[in-house]
Structure 1
Amino acid sequence: MLHKKIKLNDTAFVELYIPDSVISYGVNRKWPAVVICPGGGYMISAIKEGEAVAIQFLAKGYACFVLRYSTFIKDRESYYNESSEINENGYYPSQILELMETLHIIHENAEEWAIDKESIFTIGFSAGAHIITMEALRWNDDSLLKQLGFKPKSVELKPKGCILCYPMLNAKIDTLSNLDLSEFQKDSMNECLHKSKTPNSEQVEALNVENYLHSDIPEFFIWHTTEDSVTNAEDTTSLVKKFQEIGQPCEYHLFKKGRHGLACGNKQYASKDTDVNNTIGMWLPLVFNWMGEF
């Protein structure tokens, strides 16, 4: 297996987990791939939503690329201690551009890495889901493409499918009433996303994914829980309804139990008993079934 890190800039990198293409004597295989974007509110990068997820997909024959995109705060401790230095690379939409660059790198190296270029998926958790959704809906948006340091070829920036896990779908920070955010944390998120501590309604709406729906977008697999007190399952259901209105295929699973941020819900990456949720873990066989239908 090939395992290495590719630096995108001073504060972002992609970690590669690519199976050997030789699967038997004289038999080679090209692998489907998944780009994984952990959550963290654009402020930090969640640990258990990276390698822990890649391991699950590797076991099913997917090459995995964990994108540690530029976060607004460089480390978790500084964020919670409210003594952080701002990362100049971490302003939105640099994270979307870094995802686009990652997809470009995969396509450029597909032959060497034995990647099936027609089967590249993206998966995002919480804020990471906001990033991959915006990329999937705006993969051919000139206002983003002109900010790239390369010229995309054909449809290389359009994923085959997108997987959203307890997604953040808008930037309405003040509506997170059940999330215990300090004023510093709210201000930091607004600064990151809007470059203003007090964004106006137009700025906030510009980050609502529902405003970017069109006909030429990938298919989506989405799951959420009704108990999530950080991101709102009602927003997710609203997006699914919008998909239905435009005739966009989508598979949606709304689980009854489960808090925010459980990732795979397995004991191997549980820091406490409440991190283990076997019901939530069922999203994995469901998504593997969905991916196999393409």
Structure 2
Amino acid sequence: MKTEILSIDQKDEKAILKTYILDDYPKYYQQQKRPAVVICPGGGYATLARKESEPVALKMNGMGYHAFVLQYSVIFKEKPKNFEKEEELPEINPNAYFPTQIYQLRNTLALIREHAEEWNVDKDQLILLGFSAGGHLVASYLTFGKDILAENYIKPKAAVLGYARTNMAVPDWKEKFATVSGRTVTKYKYLCQFKTTEPTMEQRLAIDPYINVHKDMPPVFLWHSAKDTSVNALCAITFAQKLFETGVPVELHLFAGGVHGCALADKVSASTANHYDEGCEQWTNLLQIWLKRILVENSREKKEKEEQQGKVK
């Protein structure tokens, strides 16, 4: 495997791309070049969740895909030790204000396409995968990102959203503000997104993926927990409905168990006991099946099947 750390934004040295590129070797059931997945971890635009980064990249590697983790710009220059004492928080990052992250995601896709031959990537099969705030970033890129980037927009083949904020009009759960850390993270998330800690509804809707859904979007896979007390599951439900009504291919999985930030929801990567959920853990298996329908695989198996059918005719 080729692992490398690459700069993705000259204005912010913390904005980097980590590569998890599989070695090239003969494959019987797959085409020679592999699809690639760009992973955007969550963290409220204030930090970046580790368990939504490398563990997910390795999981995608296990499915046969190259993986890239985008550590996009967040509101702090350094990783906060905690969010309990606001006076101890790191210095604000002046280069992190939204939509900087949309440009960084576009730069990531451009970089992968530029190195497609070297990295053995099928540049026409690039997948975006985002969790929570990273899911908002991916959903934003898919919807109004095209208006921001214009002719520089690069359309991905598919997108995956895990417990993502995709509808800014859906109210937050009260539990989100029940703790000091929850209130502090939300405050600085708003600062990153809106340059104010008290955004108006008009400002919220200006970066709302839901109202910007359009028919030229790639297929989208969504999953969420009904018990999520941070991002309301109605975000996934209403977003999926809007996609369906617009004619965008969509698959939605709403799990009865699980919590916000559970990532792979397995025992290997769970940072706390409640991050493991046997139901939510199945989302990666469901995703693997879905991706096989979406991606074009010119495999030897497929060719042999077509040849056999041709002989029968």
The number of equivalent residue pairs is: 284
Where does residue 166 of structure 2 map in the other structure? Answer: 169
Unaligned runs of 5+ in 2: 295-313
What is the alpha-carbon distance in structure 1 between the residues aligned to residue 156 and residue 272 of structure 2?
35
Larger relative contact order (Cα-Cα within 8 Å, sequence gap ≥ 6): 2
How far is the alpha carbon of 1:265 from its aligned partner? 1.1
How far is the alpha carbon of 1:282 from its aligned partner? 0.4
Which of 6, 11, 16 in structure 2 is aligned with 1:13? 16
Which of 108, 118, 122 in structure 2 is aligned with 1:112? 118
- Greater shift in the superposed pair: 14-23 or 177-186: 177-186
Percent same amino acid at aligned positions?
35
What is the alpha-carbon distance in structure 2 between the residues aligned to residue 202 and residue 5 of structure 1?
38
- Greater shift in the superposed pair: 72-81 or 209-218: 72-81
How far is the alpha carbon of 1:271 from its aligned partner? 2.6
Q: Determine if contact 1:14/1:68 at 8 Å carries over to the other structure.
A: yes
Q: Determine if contact 1:170/1:204 at 8 Å carries over to the other structure.
A: no
Where does residue 267 of structure 1 map in the other structure? Answer: 267
Q: TM-score, normalised by structure 2?
A: 0.85
Describe how 1:9-88 pairs up with structure 2 within 5 A: 9=9, 10-23=13-26, 29-73=32-76, 74-77=78-81, 79-82=83-86, 83-84=88-89, 85-88=91-94
Give the SS at the match of 2:43. Answer: coil
4+ residue runs over 6 A deviation? none
Where does residue 138 of structure 1 map in the other structure? Answer: 144
The change in CA–CA distance for 1:80 and 1:90 in structure 2 (over 3 A counts) is: farther
Opposite residue 235 of structure 2, the aligned amino acid is D
How far is the alpha carbon of 1:19 from its aligned partner? 0.7
How far is the alpha carbon of 1:240 from its aligned partner? 1.1
Where does residue 100 of structure 2 map in the other structure? Answer: 94
Where does residue 293 of structure 1 map in the other structure? Answer: 293
Opposite residue 97 of structure 1, the aligned amino acid is Y
Q: Determine if contact 1:220/1:251 at 8 Å carries over to the other structure.
A: yes
Where does residue 278 of structure 2 map in the other structure? Answer: 278
Where does residue 159 of structure 1 map in the other structure? Answer: 156
How far is the alpha carbon of 1:175 from its aligned partner? 3.0
Q: Determine if contact 1:139/1:158 at 8 Å carries over to the other structure.
A: no
Unaligned runs of 5+ in 1: none
Q: Determine if contact 2:36/2:65 at 8 Å carries over to the other structure.
A: yes
Q: Determine if contact 2:131/2:164 at 8 Å carries over to the other structure.
A: yes
Opposite residue 175 of structure 1, the aligned amino acid is D
How far is the alpha carbon of 1:204 from its aligned partner? 1.1
Return the index of the structure with the highest Cα Rg: 2
Q: Determine if contact 2:39/2:130 at 8 Å carries over to the other structure.
A: yes
- Greater shift in the superposed pair: 167-176 or 119-128: 167-176
What's the Cα RMSD here? 2.1
Give the SS at the match of 2:263. Answer: coil
Give the SS at the match of 1:253. Answer: strand
What is the alpha-carbon distance in structure 2 between the residues aligned to residue 96 and residue 221 of structure 1?
20
Give the SS at the match of 1:22. Answer: coil
Greater share of strand: 1
Opposite residue 193 of structure 2, the aligned amino acid is L
Opposite residue 254 of structure 2, the aligned amino acid is L
- Greater shift in the superposed pair: 269-278 or 205-214: 269-278
Deviation digits for residues 227-246 of structure 1, max 9, x if unmatched?
Answer: 00000111211111111211
Give the SS at the match of 2:3. Answer: strand
Where does residue 201 of structure 1 map in the other structure? Answer: 201
The change in CA–CA distance for 1:32 and 1:228 in structure 2 (over 3 A counts) is: same
How far is the alpha carbon of 1:117 from its aligned partner? 0.9
Which of 103, 109, 134 in structure 2 is aligned with 1:103? 109
